[in-house]
């Protein structure tokens, strides 16, 4: 297990789950240092007494790598925890595809930009900063529907395909950083269906009790992360900490 983090980097910080994770981290440790990345301007978490730095950046763009690298250079040590919450399921004109015929290149590529490249670019920005002895816990919010082994339903082509790419990135990162760092853990985690803008259009068909508040999901995610150690690296985790098949 890692020590309680002193500095956490939260990416996609304006999202529903990300905001709740920020609040949960502050609830557990008011003087934590929070570094946030978002396309927006960033908001201070009520009750937070620690340092907070924000960078407005679009992580889906390649030039974000240099901007984030520069931002992180201001700090003598890399963050102890990195939690990347970026993800996309729908926009005003696109949603999950029910069949192959509905899958179009543009939406697939946009899904890959947000579900995969935002995580790749952040990893690339952090990469050169990493120090062999510095502990690092990295968690990317992924999705159970990005598990190939778990897929019994089909559909949702763009979301599933892009999350599969993210999952492979996480597995690769766990191997590369596992060789370079003495003390690292790199995981993908499924938050469970959570009441945020991302799940809004799909909430009506859920079984009772299967839609979780962002506060609850954040609490569960932080609980799981607090229990992880280097031996857990390279996994896709369910919100209760159990392992999902890739
Ligand atoms: N909610 C669920 O039921 C559910 C279930 C399974 C998995 N997940 C995963 O959990 C994560 C968080 O989801 P959420 O429910 O909190 O969704 P959300 O409220 O819609 O937040 C989405 C996040 O993605 C980022 N984002 C969206 N478009 C982007 C773009 N073009 N470029 C860069 N960043 C972009 C946003 O960052 P900014 O701060 O820049 O706005 C925001 O943090 C996602 O990876 C999602 O796939 C959610």
| Domain ranges (residues) in the chain | 7-244
- Tens digit of each residue's pLDDT (9 = 90 or more) over 176-212: 999 999 999 999 999 999 999 999 999 998 999 999 9
Q: How many CB atoms are closer than 10 A to CB 155?
A: 15
Q: What is the DSSP letter of 173?
A: H
CB 170 within 8 A of CB 188: yes
What confidence score (pLDDT) does residue 3 get? 77
List residues bridging with 138 in a β-sheet.
82, 186
Probe residue for ligand 1, chosen from 15, 23, 113 as the CB with the greatest number of ligand atoms within 8 Å: 15
Strand order in the sheet with 243-244: 52-56, 33-38, 7-11, 81-84, 136-141, 184-189, 235-237, 243-244
Query: What is the model's pLDDT at position 120?
Result: 98
Q: Point out which residues pair with 77 in neighbouring strands.
A: none
How far apart, in whole angstroms, are the C-alpha atoms of residue 165 and residue 158? 11
3-state SS, residue 188: strand
Rounded to the nearest angstrom, the distance between the alpha carbon of 28 and the centre of ligand 1 is 23
Q: What is the pLDDT of residue 75?
A: 87
Joined tokens for residue 197: 């803008």
Q: Give yes or no for residue 221 CB within 6 A of ligand 1.
A: no
| Ligand 1 atom at minimal distance to the Cα of residue 211 | 3
Q: Which residues contact 56 (CB under 8 A, 6 or more apart)?
A: 38, 39, 40, 41, 42
Q: Of ligand 1's atoms, which has the minimum distance to the CA of residue 86?
A: 24
pLDDT at res. 76: 82
pLDDT computed for residue 205 by the predictor: 87
Q: What is the DSSP letter of 80?
A: S
Strand partners, 36: 10, 54
pLDDT average per 10 residues of sequence, the chain (246 residues): 90 98 98 97 93 97 98 91 98 97 98 98 96 96 98 98 98 98 98 97 93 98 98 98 98
Asked if the 7-244 domain carries CATH number 2.30.31.70, the reply is no
* Distance between Cα 129 and ligand 1 center (Å): 25
**Is the beta carbon of 6 within 6 A of some atom in ligand 1?**
no
Alpha helices in 94-229 (DSSP H): 105-112, 118-127, 157-180, 214-227
Written as six digits, the tokens of 189 are 């985690």
CB burial of 168-201 (b: ≥16 within 10 Å; e: otherwise) equals ebbbebbeebbeebeebbbbbbbbbbbbbebbee
């Amino acid at each position: 297990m890692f020590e309680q983090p002193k500095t956490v980097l939260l990416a996609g910080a304006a999202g529903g789950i990300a905001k709740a994770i920020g609040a949960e981290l502050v609830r557990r440790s008011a003087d934590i240092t929070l570094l946030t990345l978002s396309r927006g301007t960033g908001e201070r978490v009520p009750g937070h007494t620690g340092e907070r730095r924000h960078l407005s950046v679009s992580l889906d763009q390649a030039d974000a790598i240099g901007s984030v690298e520069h931002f992180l250079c201001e700090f003598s040590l890399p963050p102890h925890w990195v939690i990347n919450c970026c993800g996309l399921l729908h926009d005003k004109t696109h949603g999950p595809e029910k069949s192959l015929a509905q899958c179009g290149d543009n939406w697939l590529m946009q899904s890959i930009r947000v579900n995969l490249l935002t995580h790749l670019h952040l990893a690339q920005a952090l990469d050169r900063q990493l120090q062999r002895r510095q502990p690092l816990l990295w968690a990317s919010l992924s999705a159970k529907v990005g598990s190939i082994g778990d897929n019994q339903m089909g559909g949702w082509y763009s979301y599933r395909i892009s999350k599969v790419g993210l999952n492979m990135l996480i597995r690769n990162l766990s191997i590369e950083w596992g060789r370079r760092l003495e003390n690292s853990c790199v995981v993908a985690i499924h938050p469970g269906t959570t009441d945020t803008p991302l799940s809004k259009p799909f909430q009506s068909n859920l079984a009772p009790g299967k839609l979780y508040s962002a506060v609850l999901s954040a609490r569960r995610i932080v609980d799981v992360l607090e229990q992880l150690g280097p031996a857990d690296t390279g996994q896709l985790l369910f919100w209760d900490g159990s392992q999902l098949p890739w």
